[in-house]
Amino acid sequence: MGNVMKRFRIISVVLVAVLIAFIFVVLHMNKNIGEDISSDMAYDKYTINFLDVFDTSTDITGFAASQNDFNKEANLIKEQLTYYNNLYDIYNDYDGLNNIKTINDNAGIQAVEVGPEIIDLLEFGKDMYDLTDGNVNIAMGSVLRIWHEYREYGIANPSNASLPELAELEAAKEHTDINKVIIDKEAMTVYLEDADMSLDVGSIAKGYAVQQVLEYCRNEGMNNILFSVGGNIAGLGGRVDGTNFKIAIQNPNLESADPYIERVEIEDGQCVVSSGDYQRYYEVDGKRYCHIINPDTLYPPETFAGVSILTDDSAKADALSTALFNMTLEEGQKFIESLDNVEAMWVYHDGTVAYSKHFKDYVID
């Protein structure tokens, strides 16, 4: 009897030990399995597309257990983007909202009270002006407006498309002094001293908004989201399986058999932005004139077909891609070298490509 009891006791001790060990193993294993299978199986990849913000096409890609779950997050993101779109709009008024257009409308008249989102954007614009030696100028609205009108007319009436006169552009250039954008951070107002000047934040607003929304999402506890707002791409986390997001960079030569010129991997918080002459442009006498205007020559730069930036701040990436588009390769390379954590790729019209020192570290072979 005693022997049997002893054996029972030993067996029960062993079993309890096994149970405890089992609990730990399961806990540990589950973590891995959980990540593993959530990527492959229960979490599907979803993308929504909408055309409502920044006059371009937006794709939000994420991973969720169901379409409903994904839509909840996507709608929050869309709401945020719409909010920034309205604030940074230069063409439309919104009820009860002072935006960039309000500031422009009051140029030379009065200071306009605005929210911190606009103050911060304009301060960032000034920083970028200094950083890029004037190659990115948010106070160039007067010049860009002329090009905008000629381009819109030229796209609608290709046979009558024409170029603005240099004299007209030079007259407008007189009203592009960024120092006349007076930002009063105490009173939270912005005033344009020159009545004929206007802000055009097109070179930074999309990227800036994407960066803000990405940070908003991070604070809300979201993860594994890829933002693509008119080709301003930024990743929050990576794919749900723990690997990096993979981004294709559009081939500026749209007729090429290969739609992508390069594929890159981006880590959490990194972004890719391209500027090029292939999306927004018009043609005069068979020659292409794109939407980016060099602040010095007042004409579209012709050196590159496209420039891409890979860095860790979408706003900066947006501004830098415009700046590089305006520079020569040598200037651009030197400029990029002087910055931390910024890589660039230049594509010429004949398809030849130049890279900054470490761009290729991100390229997928």
Partner 1 sequence: MKKNDIILIICILVVAGLVIAMTRFTNQTKNGDEAVAVVTIDGIEYARYPLDKDVTETIEISDNNYNVISIHDGQCEISDASCPDQICVYHNPIENNGQTIVCLPNRLVVTIENGSDNDIDGATY
Partner 2 sequence: MNTKKVAYLGLFIALAFVLSYVEFLLPLSIGIPGAKIGLANLVVMVALYTIGNKNAFLLSLVRVILVGLTFGNLAMMIYSMAGAMLSFLVMIIAKRTKLFSITGVSVLGGVFHNVGQILVAMLVLDTASLIYYLPFLIVIGTISGIVIGVISGMITARVGRLFDIK
Residue 226 touches which member of partner 1, partner 2, none, C-beta under 5-8 Å by kind: partner 1
The nearer residue to partner 2, 44 or 117, going by C-beta atoms, is 44
Angle in degrees, CA 354, 257, 301, rounded to 5: 40
Reported in sequence order, the residue ranges of the chain that DSSP labels E, i.e. its strands, are 44-50, 58-64, 112-113, 181-184, 189-192, 225-229, 232-236, 245-250, 260-266, 271-276, 281-284, 287-290, 306-311, 343-347, 353-355
Residue 341 touches which member of partner 1, partner 2, none, C-beta under 5-8 Å by kind: none
> Minimal distance in Å, beta carbon 152 to partner 1?
9
The nearer residue to partner 1, 144 or 273, going by C-beta atoms, is 273
Residue 31 touches which member of partner 2, partner 1, none, C-beta under 5-8 Å by kind: partner 2
H or E stretch at 119: helix 116-131
Instruction: Decide: 307 and 347 in contact? Cβ < 8 Å.
Output: yes
The nearer residue to partner 1, 74 or 197, going by C-beta atoms, is 74
State the pairing for strand pair 58-64/181-184.
unpaired
* Number of amino acids touching partner 2 (CB under 8 A): 26
Secondary structure of residue 142 in the 3-state scheme: helix
> Minimal distance in Å, beta carbon 28 to partner 2?
11
Instruction: Decide: 292 and 321 in contact? Cβ < 8 Å.
Output: no
> Minimal distance in Å, beta carbon 1 to partner 2?
13
Residue from 11, 156, 187, 364 binding partner 2 (CB under 8 A): 11
Name every residue whose Cβ is closer than 8 Å to that of residue 161 and which is 6 or more positions away in sequence.
150, 153, 154, 155, 282, 283, 284
Residue 156 touches which member of partner 1, partner 2, none, C-beta under 5-8 Å by kind: partner 1
Map the footprint of partner 2 across residues 26-85, applying CB under 8 A: 26-27, 30-31, 33-34, 37-38, 40-44, 65-66, 68-69
Q: Which residues bind partner 2 (CB under 8 A)?
A: 8, 11-12, 15-16, 18-19, 22-23, 26-27, 30-31, 33-34, 37-38, 40-44, 65-66, 68-69
